Amino acid sequence: MLTIVGLGPGSRSYLSREAYDALKQADKVYVRTAWHPVLEELDIEFESFDEAYERAADFPTLYREIAQQVFEAAKTDEVVFAVPGSPFQAEETVKLLLSLGEATIIPGVSFVEPVLQALRYDVTDGLMILDGLSEFRLPADQSALLLQVYSPAVASEVKLKLMATLPDEREVVIVKSAGIPDREELIRLPLYQLDQGPHFDHLTSLFVPAGEARHRTLEELVAVTARLRGPGGCAWDSEQTHQSLKRYLIEESYEVLEAIDREDFDMLEDELGDLLFQAIFHAQIASEMGYFDIYDVIQGITDKLIRRHSHVFSDDQASTAQEVVEIWEKNKAAERSTEDRLRSIPRISPLHYGMKVMKLLAPAGSDDLSELTDNELLEQLLKLVKQASQRDLALDLLLSERLDQLIQEHLTTE
């Protein structure tokens, strides 16, 4: 039988009588870590997994191994698995154990309560609780408490993650030994100094108060766009339609290409912003019409990337770029029929449109131009453009019309 016990935040006064009795009466006691003051005071034998932490390749694998070992032992003995704080806060091993089978849970006071008391912080003001070992991105306007920040190395990783959204000078609070008399300590310092000092042990947490963001957010850009289009906003912006904005979308796209060609990264940053605004603008108009909003767009492209990169997110295998392309095309073909794919090719540039159409309709090497070098092929193209110019032909329009005819002929014969 398995019993999972929360040891509380550190002081013996937080350990319940039920938890104490379970620890004393068990055939075998496992502790995730022996770095806990309560274990120093209890006269019990236990086995810790601290050495496993030292040799583990990664935390997910370690947690699975711990859970499996404890679960197997509980099949024949009365086993207690004891964890710091509460079993239900930042305890991945507990989640894994409960997924394997039944267990009795004896709750413990989490680290959160004494930390909040030390900080004099009311949780109703809003608080995210994060595992310092996990991947996270903290919104700048959200207060957070990070657990398991037990070493300078972990603190350094946490600092880098926080700096992605927070100013370097944001004041943070290191909370040491919360709730333990004569040991509790609060250390306030700027974020950039977080890992510069011997402040960390297994009873250390980090509090990050809400404040100004390092960067503006997508949500702010969406809100500004809605304000421009809304009552009392900008008369010009509010009159725009998908059709009227087409020229600006093309212009901004070409300006991005120009910045890339110049290798001007300041310009590229600026032009990508203009292009992003065009996407937000169109999504805002669509949202007002009841079709979709920018978050639907984000959902769609995220799902598509995951679906088409099945060699990353699923079971397909690819070791070369060509194999990746083949998998992409396979997944793309599975989503839509050839007719759907042909009809969905954008027609902004007839030449680009033609290349997409011919890629679907004409196999490689199927004509006498396939032996030409790239330069020779370009020369042939220039000759055609010259001839069309001399005949005063609208080559782009004629090309679009002919491509449409080819598509219709192909669909008719299928």
Three-state DSSP class for residue 394: coil
The per-residue pLDDT for 393 is 84
pTM: 0.59
Q: By the 8 A CB rule, do 156 and 195 touch?
A: yes
Q: What type of residue sits at position 51?
A: E
**Which parts of the chain have pLDDT scores under 50?**
none
Domain ranges of the chain: 2-109, 113-208, 218-292, 337-413
Measured distance CA(123)–CA(127) in Å, rounded? 6
Which pLDDT does position 338 carry in this prediction? 60
| DSSP letters spanning 190-203 | EGGGTTSSS--STT
Q: Which of 15, 6, 149 is CA-nearest to residue 85?
A: 6
pLDDT of residue 269: 97
- Residue 131, φ and ψ in degrees, nearest 5: -85, 120
Contact between 148 and 63 (Cβ < 8 Å)? no
* C-alpha distances out from residue 173 to 134, 149, 155, 398, Å: 19, 12, 12, 68
Element (H, E) at 403: helix 395-413
Dmax (CA) of the chain:
100
**Residue (of 292, 282, 287) closest to 246 by Cα position:** 282
Domain 2-109 top-level CATH class: alpha beta
Q: What is the pLDDT of residue 93?
A: 94
Q: Which 3 state secondary structure label does DSSP give 184?
A: coil
Q: What is the pLDDT of residue 314?
A: 84
Q: Which of 282, 328, 322 is nearest to 305 (CA)?
A: 328
Topology of domain 218-292, CATH: Helix Hairpins (1.10.287)
CA gap 183, 133 in Å, rounded: 24
Q: Count the alpha carbons within 13 Å of 275 in the hemisphere toward its beta carbon.
A: 16
Cα(106)–Cα(355) distance, integer angstroms: 66
Say which amino acid occupies 403: L
| Nearest of 10, 50, 5 to residue 25 by alpha carbon | 5
Report pLDDT digits (tens) over 38-81. 898 888 999 999 999 888 888 889 999 999 999 999 999 999 99
Cα gap 180→182, rounded to integer Å = 6
What does the chain come to in residues? 414
> Tokens at residue 197, please?
């000092």
Both tokens assigned to 286: 């669509």
Residues in contact with 59: Cβ distance below 8 Å, sequence separation at least 6, in sequence order: 92, 133
In 3D space, the residue among 295, 291, 273, 293 whose CA is nearest the CA of residue 283 turns out to be 293
Tokens of 6: 């929360």
**Tokens at residue 313, please?**
């997110």
pLDDT tens digit sequence for 215-267: 888 999 999 999 999 999 999 999 999 999 998 998 999 999 999 999 999 99
Please report the DSSP string for 23-71 in residue order.
HHH-SEEEES-S--HHHHHS----EE-HHHHHH-S-HHHHHHHHHHHHH
The fold adopted by the segment(s) 113-208 is: 3.30.950
Q: What are phi and psi of 288, to 5 degrees?
A: -65, -30
Instruction: Check residue 106 and give its pLDDT.
Output: 95
Distance CA 264, CA 257 (A): 11
